[in-house]
């Protein structure tokens, strides 16, 4: 896989070394058991796969190269490059200005931007409407488009589904930048509807089967379907794609449910005419991160710490999985660990930061699961690990632990 030129301060000495050793031992990534780092009084279980993915590293490389190659030029980003506050802050310090927030509200108006300026498209991609707007303004986009290739793969698949007169069911959060972009690309060639989760899909299935009246569709999915959507006509042939940061297992569950629904309505012998298999659009990095998280669930840890941006969808899903078994603390950097007792962390349910006391248990050996989202630099995980180690006496050195792991 391509090596990207990303800033040194995002690279780590500990986590990167562990990842490289695991890659040597398991190059095909068949083993998703975590890496155990035993420092004596504290033991870490490090996920097999986490951190910057291909799309994120590609986006960061393009952004920094753009700054370097265009001194004196005004450079803008449509919105956050990725969902990590540290990375976005770094880009702003490089002189990059954000045009919009994640909801599409403008910081900078279009009439303030000229064709002499550079506009970067973030890793999530953008809508066809915004692409056309930039072209009309005379602003080149191809060179500064950091859209993840796996997101583009979803768009291409949606287009193919439309060519075969399938309606595209998009598994995603309707207000997320990536889902807004995917919906925009999908509706150019296909009827489309967004489902948030399996629960909404169950409702959609009941509408398809006539268990619920078709009128319910327009109320329940208001703002989530394409113009001119006809329930009777447009739900006869379907295919599923997803926002690439959603839980892959839930996307598959949604696809399986809709396939069963079509079998129930049209018969097994006719399924090929009513349902398209689209599992090939699932993002490899999201899949790997989630498989590695399931590996963490097989440990007997005391708690879990997840590092990443609070508005990061893929990171939130990792938290959801881990909190089913462990007390789980979602933080965006090591500064949130206030002391050996106190931690400031994000509650994904109430959508607020809270402070918890006595988060590290008082026992002879504390076992901690540690991982991060796809938009989190490994260096941030290093800092969390090092800060926790500083609370314990008589720990083994990092060098000792890594050396023992090599053996």
How far, in Å, are 82, 119, 309 from residue 97 at the CA level?
A: 14, 9, 19
Residue in 80, 177, 178, 383 annotated catalytic = 178
User: Residue 308 and residue 350: Cα distance in Å, rounded?
Assistant: 17
Structure tokens at 49: 């796969």
Joined tokens for residue 170:
């998009």
Q: Which residues make Cβ contacts (< 8 Å) with residue 102, sequence separation at least 6?
A: 79, 80, 83, 176, 177, 311
Catalytic status, residue 61: no
Question: How far apart, in whole angstroms, are the C-alpha atoms of residue 248 and residue 150?
Answer: 14
Quickly count: other Cβ atoms within 10 Å of residue 362's Cβ: 8
Task: Determine the 3-state secondary structure of 51 from DSSP.
Answer: coil
The secondary structure element, H or E, covering residue 371 is: strand 366-372
**First and final CA of the chain: distance in angstroms?**
26
Q: Which structure tokens are listed for 380?
A: 């941030």
Alpha-carbon distance of 78 to 50, in angstroms, equals: 26
Give the single-character DSSP code of 2.
P
Cα(123)–Cα(244) distance, integer angstroms: 11
Q: How far is CA 34 from CA 31, 91, 291, in A?
A: 9, 32, 11
Q: Is 37 exposed, middle or buried (0-12, 13-18, 19+ CB in 10 A)?
A: buried
DSSP class of residue 120?
Answer: E
Q: Which residues participate in catalysis according to the annotation? A: 178
């Amino acid at each position: 896989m391509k090596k990207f030129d990303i800033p040194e301060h995002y690279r780590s000495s500990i986590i990167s070394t562990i990842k490289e050793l695991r890659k040597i031992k398991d190059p095909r990534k068949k083993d998703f058991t975590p890496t155990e780092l035993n420092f004596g009084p504290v033991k870490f279980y490090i996920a097999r796969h986490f951190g910057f993915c291909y799309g994120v590293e590609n986006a960061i490389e393009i952004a920094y190269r753009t700054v370097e190659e265009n001194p004196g030029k005004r450079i803008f980003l449509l919105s956050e490059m990725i969902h990590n506050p540290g990375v976005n802050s770094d880009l702003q310090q490089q002189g990059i200005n954000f045009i919009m927030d994640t909801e599409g509200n403008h910081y900078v108006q279009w009439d303030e931007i000229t064709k002499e300026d550079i506009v970067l498209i973030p890793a999530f991609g953008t809508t066809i409407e915004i692409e056309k707007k930039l072209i009309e303004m005379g602003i080149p986009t191809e060179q500064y488009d950091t859209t993840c290739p796996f997101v583009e793969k979803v768009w291409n698949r949606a287009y193919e589904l439309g060519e075969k007169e399938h309606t595209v069911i998009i598994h995603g959060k309707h207000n997320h930048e990536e889902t807004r972009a995917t919906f925009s690309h999908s509706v150019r060639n296909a009827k489309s509807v967004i489902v948030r989760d399996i629960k909404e899909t169950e409702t959609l299935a009941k509408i398809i089967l006539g268990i619920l009246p078709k009128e319910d569709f327009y109320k329940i999915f208001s703002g989530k379907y394409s113009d001119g959507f006809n329930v009777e006509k447009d739900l006869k042939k379907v295919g599923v794609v997803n926002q690439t940061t959603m839980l892959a297992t839930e996307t598959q569950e949604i696809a399986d449910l809709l396939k069963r629904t079509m079998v129930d309505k049209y018969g097994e012998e006719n399924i090929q005419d009513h349902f398209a298999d689209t599992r090939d659009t699932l993002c490899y990095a999201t899949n790997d991160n989630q498989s590695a998280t399931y590996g963490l669930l097989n440990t007997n840890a005391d708690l879990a710490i997840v590092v990443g941006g609070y508005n990061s969808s893929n990171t939130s899903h990792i938290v959801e999985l881990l909190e089913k078994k462990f007390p789980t603390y979602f933080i965006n950097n090591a500064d949130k660990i206030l002391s050996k007792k106190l931690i400031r962390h994000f509650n994904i349910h109430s959508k607020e930061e809270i402070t918890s006391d006595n988060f590290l248990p008082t026992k002879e050996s504390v076992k901690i699961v540690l991982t991060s989202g796809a938009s989190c630099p490994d260096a941030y995980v290093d800092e969390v690990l090092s800060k926790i180690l500083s609370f314990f006496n008589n720990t083994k050195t990092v060098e000792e632990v890594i050396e023992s792991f090599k053996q």
